[in-house]
């Protein structure tokens, strides 16, 4: 029997949960993502048996060496390759079974972002196992990668088909210049207090399978129970950011440098420092941005018309907080997610407006129990469409599938401001829907019979 931890009245089987689901990303960080293809079933199971030994559980540790960890997840094709029985495969969420490429039209992955143009092996059915290694420094990353390499040693029939290194940029921010990863929900039983005192911890079942969620029900869980329990769905997307185009656009639309920073903040909902517009509507407040106890402590209820933070700003769309309370038809808590994104590629030097041709962006990582009502809902309804209370019929100005014809409205007195012809700033290079099983489930997968 695994140890059970009771925190805040909820018992999470932390010994069985992969640590990546509940651990915050270190800062600074370095990391590596790998995709593997399983050509031989027996080798695939042996790989899982060995990986099971190198994956850490979510139990908090005082050992700094464990600040570096590996997360292992499988695509639908991966579970098939391992020989998971069909009735069990059929019990997974429909979006996961279809795979991300098949959902491209709904997700807005069209034009430059369409799956035909994705990096291989995304969307080809050849990505079976996803491994993420994250660490505060290169030395510890190398140690955990060495363990992952060991799991593959002398194992024919398992190929590494993709690799992406990532690291925190020297500025501590992402390629557009903004601090990221601030707005996160806390999870009941994880022992991590909320950073937004106005948002009580989410029921564990919103993130982990096998526990009641916000509806009071157990989320649909893959069968058999040993496979589903303590697992979580993971959405993994490589998103290229067109930083030069973004800077050129702001330069063209702004009245001057200060206005550029303001327009950028209005598009995101936070200043580059991380300070939220809701608390610092006029000017950046770097001290506030750097202060984790204050930089997420806000709501939008006193700003229904978006004079401080536009309803169409990225962060307000992605988490409208109390904005929709008066409407009553949407429960924001059913559309929350854990984000574990990282940056890849070099920084575009400060002040440079020309594209240097380098590939840079974000590896967006979502963890949650409901791909459909969490990731897909937010992406399609709130970021791509914005058909909800208060936001004009526009797309997310920063990450939406814009095509150069749309606009972004900034409420202002006496007259609103409109930015026209918003181009696309983010291009999907590929992605996969994955399932990160609990540790017992990994053992079960490795011991599957013929
Ligand atoms: C390249 C693409 C993206 C970039 C550059 C980006 C950037 C940002 C930034 C700068 C913030 C504000 C800082 C923070 O609270 O962490 C943020 C917040 C957030 N983003 Fe994104 N984002 C991207 C894609 C996405 C996607 C695809 C989703 C979901 C489908 C998403 C969901 C969120 C959520 C939930 C928040 C937190 C909002 C809050 O709690 O206030 N983002 N993002």
61-114 pLDDT, tens per residue?
Answer: 666 666 788 999 999 999 999 999 999 999 999 999 999 999 999 999 999 999
pLDDT number for residue 2? 39
Is residue 399 within 6 Å of ligand 1 at its C-beta? Answer: yes
Q: CA 183, CA 300: separation in Å to the nearest integer?
A: 14
> If you measure from the C-alpha of residue 167 to the centroid of ligand 1, how many angstroms do you get, rounded to a whole number?
18
First to last CA, the chain: 27
322-341 pLDDT, tens per residue?
Answer: 988 877 777 999 999 999 98
Share the mean pLDDT of the chain. 92
> If you measure from the C-alpha of residue 383 to the centroid of ligand 1, how many angstroms do you get, rounded to a whole number?
10
Tokens representing residue 146 in the block: 């060495």
Give yes or no for a cis peptide into 223 (omega within 30° of 0).
no
Concatenating the DSSP letter of every residue in 310-323 gives -TTSHHHHH--GGG
Report how many helices (DSSP H) and strands (DSSP E) the chain contains, helices first.
Answer: 14, 13
| The ligand 1 atom nearest the CA atom of 378 | 30
Is residue 249 within 6 Å of ligand 1 at its C-beta? Answer: no
CA distances from 260 to 180, 266, 270, 274 (A): 19, 10, 13, 16
> If you measure from the C-alpha of residue 387 to the centroid of ligand 1, how many angstroms do you get, rounded to a whole number?
18
Is residue 240 within 6 Å of ligand 1 at its C-beta? Answer: no
334 within 8 A of 205, measured Cβ to Cβ = no
> If you measure from the C-alpha of residue 295 to the centroid of ligand 1, how many angstroms do you get, rounded to a whole number?
15
> If you measure from the C-alpha of residue 40 to the centroid of ligand 1, how many angstroms do you get, rounded to a whole number?
38
pLDDT number for residue 441? 98
Concatenating the DSSP letter of every residue in 340-368 gives --EEESPPPPTT--S------EEEEEEEE
> If you measure from the C-alpha of residue 237 to the centroid of ligand 1, how many angstroms do you get, rounded to a whole number?
13
Is residue 364 within 6 Å of ligand 1 at its C-beta? Answer: yes
> If you measure from the C-alpha of residue 269 to the centroid of ligand 1, how many angstroms do you get, rounded to a whole number?
10
Concatenating the DSSP letter of every residue in 383-411 gives III--STT--S---TTTS---SSEEEEE-
Is residue 300 within 6 Å of ligand 1 at its C-beta? Answer: no
> If you measure from the C-alpha of residue 315 to the centroid of ligand 1, how many angstroms do you get, rounded to a whole number?
6
Ligand 1 atom 33 nearest Cα: 318
Ligand 1 atom 30 nearest Cα: 379
362-418 pLDDT, tens per residue?
Answer: 999 999 999 999 999 999 999 998 666 567 789 999 999 999 999 999 999 999 999
Q: Where does the pLDDT of residue 46 fall: very low under 50, low under 70, confident under 90, or very high at 90 and above?
A: very high
pLDDT number for residue 6? 43
Residue to substitute in 318, 333, 368 for testing ligand 1 pocket (most ligand atoms within 8 angstroms of CB)? 318
Is residue 181 within 6 Å of ligand 1 at its C-beta? Answer: yes
Is residue 236 within 6 Å of ligand 1 at its C-beta? Answer: no
Estimate the crossing angle of helix 138-152 against helix 41-54, to 10 degrees. 150
pLDDT higher than 80, residue 59: no
Is residue 52 within 6 Å of ligand 1 at its C-beta? Answer: no
Is residue 379 within 6 Å of ligand 1 at its C-beta? Answer: yes
Kindly report which listed range (52-61, 125-134, 157-166) carries the lowest average pLDDT score: 52-61
The Cα diameter of the chain in Å comes to 71
Is residue 316 within 6 Å of ligand 1 at its C-beta? Answer: no
Please state, as a whole number, how many other Cβ atoms lie within 10 Å of the Cβ of residue 369: 27
> If you measure from the C-alpha of residue 393 to the centroid of ligand 1, how many angstroms do you get, rounded to a whole number?
20
CA distances from 178 to 27, 247, 290, 315 (A): 15, 13, 12, 12
């Amino acid at each position: 029997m695994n140890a059970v931890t009771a925190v805040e009245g909820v018992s999470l089987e932390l010994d069985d949960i992969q640590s990546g689901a509940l651990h915050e990303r270190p800062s600074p960080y370095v990391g590596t993502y790998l995709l593997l293809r399983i050509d031989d079933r027996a080798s695939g199971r042996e790989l899982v048996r060995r990986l099971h030994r190198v994956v850490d559980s979510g139990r908090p540790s005082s050992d700094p060496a464990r600040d570096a960890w590996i997360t292992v997840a499988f695509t639908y094709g991966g579970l098939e390759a391992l020989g998971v029985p069909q009735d069990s495969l059929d019990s997974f969420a429909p979006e996961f079974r279809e795979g991300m490429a098949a959902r491209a039209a709904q997700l807005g992955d069209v034009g430059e972002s369409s799956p035909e143009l994705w990096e291989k092996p995304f969307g080809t059915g050849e990505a079976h196992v996803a491994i993420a290694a994250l660490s505060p420094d290169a030395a510890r990353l190398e140690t955990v990668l060495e363990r992952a390499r060991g799991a593959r040693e002398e194992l024919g029939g398992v190929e590494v088909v993709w690799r992406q290194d990532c690291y925190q940029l020297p500025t501590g921010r992402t390629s557009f210049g903004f601090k990221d990863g601030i707005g996160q929900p806390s999870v009941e039983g994880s022992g991590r207090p909320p950073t937004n005192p106005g948002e009580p911890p989410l029921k564990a079942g919103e993130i982990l399978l096998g526990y009641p969620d916000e509806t009071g029900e157990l989320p649909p869980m893959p069968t058999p129970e040993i496979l589903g329990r303590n697992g979580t769905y993971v959405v993994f997307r490589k998103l290229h950011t067109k930083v030069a185009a973004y800077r050129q656009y702001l330069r063209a639309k702004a009245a001057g440098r200060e206005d550029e920073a303001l327009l950028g903040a209005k598009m995101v909902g936070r200043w580059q420092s991380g300070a939220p517009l809701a608390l610092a509507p006029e000017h950046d407040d770097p001290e506030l941005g750097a202060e984790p106890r204050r930089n997420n402590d806000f709501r939008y209820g006193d700003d229904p018309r978006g004079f401080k933070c536009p309803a169409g700003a990225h962060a307000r769309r992605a988490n409208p907080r109390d904005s929709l309370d008066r409407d009553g038809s949407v429960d924001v808590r059913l559309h929350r997610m854990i984000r574990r994104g990282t940056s890849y590629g070099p920084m575009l030097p400060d002040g440079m407006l020309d594209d240097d041709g380098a590939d840079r962006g974000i590896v967006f990582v979502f963890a949650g129990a409901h791909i459909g009502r969490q990731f897909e809902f937010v992406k399609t309804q709130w970021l791509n469409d914005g058909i909800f209370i208060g936001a004009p019929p526009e797309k997310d100005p920063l990450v939406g599938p814009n095509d150069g014809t749309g606009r972004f409205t900034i409420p202002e007195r006496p007259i609103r401001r409109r930015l026209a012809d918003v181009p696309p700033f983010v291009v999907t290079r590929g992605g996969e829907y994955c399932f990160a099983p609990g540790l017992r489930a990994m053992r079960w997968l490795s011991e599957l019979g013929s």
